[in-house]
Copies of this chain bind each other. A is one copy, B any other.
């Protein structure tokens, strides 16, 4: 039984863009509304995923602002923030709103304009998603969080530098086939392992996701109405959300995120599927290491075997479980509030067979996993072609 149906999707390109926040929101929303054959007046509720518009673009009260520029007159508008999972929190609230029976047609937009700030300031703003008092203020920004996690994974499981590098190589290769992607640059394992721009040992420049601008949008509706609007319906059949320890040091083990395990368990049970039923997934590769851990936490591979699978090509477009066919946060880009919605948009393109050169093979079920902070928030959604 579907929770909600996706009847429209849209996305801007991700990248360092000239467009303002408002222009990004309008472009993504208009695409999604057009795709659903709806206008702003047909929308009953609006959810915006945004991490830190007040810091990035000096504008807050962002859902009402976005609703205004989209032309959603009177429509109840709410902004969700959950660090890098802000977009998928908005999506999940949209699903709950449909499930409540109070709304029939819901617009969800994820958006972030980041490149308006210099990189050092962006790093500071992002660090506000970790514990400022006990972590960020003593220098523990997110690259160092995931550097530590990588070190521990390598120590515990024997994960190699080459295995980690293979994630970057694959996602760059996928992004080359995605016109929406921020980066279009082919790289090799040698490029990654030989890179001298160290960020946080062992992670270098090629292991880190991008600072991007972008917006993505979805129109949801009650499952029984979907066929009225869209012939190519994709249903959301599972939705899980969980919190994990807020600080890295509160985790029992650094090589797995409890929120990711819990959220996926919830989504699998709701959808009545197993990890082996998932044909492909968009996961939260804010750093290469995070993708390896995600594929383990989601049950695609056993703990410690995610790196091996990546290097063997099992997660590439022609592998047995393609991961991040879009190019992922690593190469498609990571406009924070947009990411969680953008993952869903990619899954819908794939399930509809509209993914062009990056189309995965025949598939009916896709999954998204979106992580906030160092595992403080996680959501997992499961989509099925009707």
Contacts and interface: CB of A to CB of B under 8 A. Distances in A.
Nearest to A73: B243
Contact of A242 (B54, B76, B262): B76
A89 interface: yes
Given A96-B96, A128-B54, A376 B60 contact: no
Number of copies: 2
Contacts of A62: 81
A82 B82 contact: no
Contacts of A262: 74
A57 B54 CA distance: 13
A interface SS class: mixed
Contacts of A67: 243, 246
Nearest to A84: B61
A90 to B, nearest CB: 9
A61 B373 contact: yes
Interface in A312-332: none
A359 interface: no
Contact of A243 (B76, B97, B247): B76
Contacts of A372: 61, 64
A128 B59 contact: yes
Contacts of A92: 78
Nearest to A137: B58
Interface of A: 46, 51-52, 54-55, 57-65, 67-68, 72-83, 89, 92-93, 96-97, 99-102, 125, 128-133, 241-247, 250, 258-259, 262-263, 372-373, 376-377
